[in-house]
Amino acid sequence: MTIAAPVATAVRVASIPAGHPYVRNVLAGTGVRLLPDPPPPGAPDGRWWPPVMCDAAWVDANADRFDVMHLHFGTESYPTAHLRSLVRALRAGGRPLIYTLHDLENPQLADQAPHREHLDVLVRAADELVTLTPGAAAAIERRWSRTAEVIPHPHVLPLDADVPAGTPSDPYVLGVHLRDIRPGTDAVRTVATLLDALDHLRAQGLGATARVQVNERVRDEAARAQVAALIATHPAAELRRTARLGDDALARSIADLDVAVLPYRTGTHSGWAELCWDLGVPVAGPPVGFAHEQHPADFAVFDAGDGAGLAGAVRRLVAGAPRPGSAARALRTAARRRQRIAQSAAITAAHAALYERVA
């Protein structure tokens, strides 16, 4: 990835969405002009889904307002025929399409068939493709014989935010955030594996506890009930049920961990792994997608259902990681922020060059 100058003549981009933190972070400092997300009918302020710009009629009515459409998220809101109409409208209006493949599998969906149909339409139609890891790019090449430019995921923690160092703890704290238990979250099996790993670690003389965080409002009540029942039987595990955590509270809760465990059933990349890296917290995750390629030195793979494997992954991770609340953790996060600042310049330049190329 080469560093290019910011866009000299502001390219007008219809980004779907515009208000997502990922989009804001990859474009910070460029001369790109983002169209604001049109509010969906009846939606509260700040909600961009279902994305209004992802629509042929909107393109026909607004083609003079943008130079490039860049699609990131939100296609699960529409049937495949809707996306075909969008592509036709862009071609008729002479507006190029850039598609960033965040998800070869959509973690918002239980049935992946509609998403695969969407990918077939969008990958073939896009003027330029972007993805986040070499593994995903190779999968795109194998499936569609198309080349995707690899541009890494940007920082998630704002570059000007205070970085929590975490709360000191004698036992190692292993944590999993289930949030609202979306379809791509393997909540019950992940927690069962974590508790089994905890038993292995404690039997090996490593003091450890498990902390499971879940929202008050979830999409799968039955799964949350099963998780609660599992945790109730374990003396070294706790369940924290809270309202959806805001950004600052979420960062603090992750910073308190020695290891963050990812509960993925499906998916391709992980913004969560990026936030953990910003906070200096190593990650253990299942072999789902290509999240392990994002920060491989800080990521250990385990198979869901294999508690001994997760215990081994934890031991490898904590052997080289500073503990929460330590001066070493603060030094690590400060060094990573410096890396993020340098990386951010390259990421924004790559996007600016991409827009100039197609526009």
Q: Name the E strands within the chain.
A: 12-16, 33-34, 68-71, 97-100, 128-131, 149-150, 172-179, 208-215, 237-242, 259-261, 283-285, 299-301
More confident residue, 29 or 192: 192
Residue-wise pLDDT for 241-272, tens only, equals 999 999 999 999 999 999 999 999 999 999 99
The predicted structure's pLDDT at residue 115: 98
Which residue spans of the chain are classified as CATH 3.40.50.2000?
Answer: 172-325
Residue-wise pLDDT for 271-317, tens only, equals 999 999 999 999 999 999 999 999 999 999 999 999 999 999 999 99
Chain-centroid distance, C-alpha 60: 32
Type of residue found at 342: A
* pLDDT bracket for residue 6 (50, 70, 90): very low
Mean pLDDT value across the chain: 96
Is 256 in contact with 324 (CB distance < 8 Å)? Answer: yes
Is 347 in contact with 154 (CB distance < 8 Å)? Answer: yes
* Beta-ladder partners of 210: 174, 237
The predicted structure's pLDDT at residue 30: 81
Share of the chain above pLDDT 90, in %: 94
Q: Measure the CA–CA gap between 32 and 17, rounded to whole angstroms.
A: 14
Tell me the CATH number for domain 12-156+341-358: 3.40.50
Is 112 in contact with 266 (CB distance < 8 Å)? Answer: yes
Long-range CB contacts (< 8 A, 24+ apart) of 147-153?
Answer: 148/101, 149/350, 149/354, 150/1, 151/1, 151/26, 151/347, 151/350, 151/351, 152/1, 152/294, 152/343, 152/347, 153/22, 153/269, 153/271, 153/274, 153/294
Residue-wise pLDDT for 151-174, tens only, equals 999 999 999 999 999 999 999 999
* pLDDT bracket for residue 7 (50, 70, 90): very low
Residue-wise pLDDT for 26-57, tens only, equals 998 788 999 999 999 999 988 999 999 999 99
The predicted structure's pLDDT at residue 351: 96
Q: What is the pTM of this model?
A: 0.96
Instruction: Name the fold adopted by 172-325.
Output: Rossmann fold (3.40.50)
Can you give 171-239 as a three-state secondary structure string? CEEEEEEEECCCCCECHHHHHHHHHHHHHHHHHCCCCEEEEEEEECCCCCHHHHHHHHHHHHCCCCEEE
Q: Is the pLDDT of residue 5 over 50?
A: no
